[in-house]
């Protein structure tokens, strides 16, 4: 019998499942990534050690959602770049249009993670205090704004 500590991380499977859910529903899948020396992304687009990547079919070429890495070719400022993201550096995957998705805790190392390495989240829209064009709940009528993570227990 395989113990939970000996099993593979659920993270790559959940990423693939949420990617499929986004594309099946016409949403744009985004991933938030914590950048370190193993992450290969254009550094000029990294802010506060993180980058958000559009991994939709239209934004990528040769996308591979593997168990260890997410790989694709993407355009940044009109220049094609090879992107390589270790799965354990993915902080979240979510739909741009409605913010629904899942956040993941950082793993202590790239070693095999337990099967309980995920937490459900809801992404909420962040609006500027200067904006007069908001609903009473703080969201914009057109669904605009930048998604942010909110943990759901």
Domain that holds residue 104: 4-151
- The CATH number that applies at residue 76 is 2.30.30.220
Q: What mean pLDDT comes out for the span 41-67?
A: 96
Domain count, the chain: 1
Q: What mean pLDDT comes out for the span 51-63?
A: 96
| Reduced 3-state DSSP string for the chain | CCCHHHCCCCHHHHHHHHHHHHHHCCCCEEEEEECCCCCECCHHHCECCEEEEECCCCCEEEEEECCCEEEEEEEECCEEEEEEEEHHHEEEEEECCCCEEEECCCCCCCCCCCCCCCEEEEEEEECCCCCCCCCCCCCCCCCCCEEEEEECC
**For position 108, what pLDDT does the model report?**
58
**For position 7, what pLDDT does the model report?**
72
Tell me the per-residue pLDDT of 100-136, one tens digit each, with 9 for 90 and over. 999 998 765 544 333 344 444 445 444 334 334 444 4
């Amino acid at each position: 019998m395989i113990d939970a500590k000996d099993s593979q991380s659920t993270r790559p499977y959940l990423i693939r499942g949420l990617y499929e859910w986004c594309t099946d529903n016409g949403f744009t899948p985004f991933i938030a990534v914590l950048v370190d020396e193993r992450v290969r992304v254009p550094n000029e687009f990294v802010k506060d050690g993180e980058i958000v990547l559009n991994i939709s079919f239209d934004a990528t070429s040769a996308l591979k959602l593997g168990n260890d890495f997410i790989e694709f070719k993407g355009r940044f400022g009109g220049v094609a770049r090879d992107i390589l993201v270790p799965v354990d550096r993915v902080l979240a995957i979510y739909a741009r249009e409605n913010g629904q998705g899942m956040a993941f805790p950082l793993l202590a190392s790239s070693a095999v993670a337990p099967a309980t390495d995920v937490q459900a989240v809801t992404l909420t829209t962040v609006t500027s205090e200067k904006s007069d064009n908001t609903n009473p709940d703080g969201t914009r009528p057109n669904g605009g704004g930048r998604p942010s993570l909110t943990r759901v227990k």
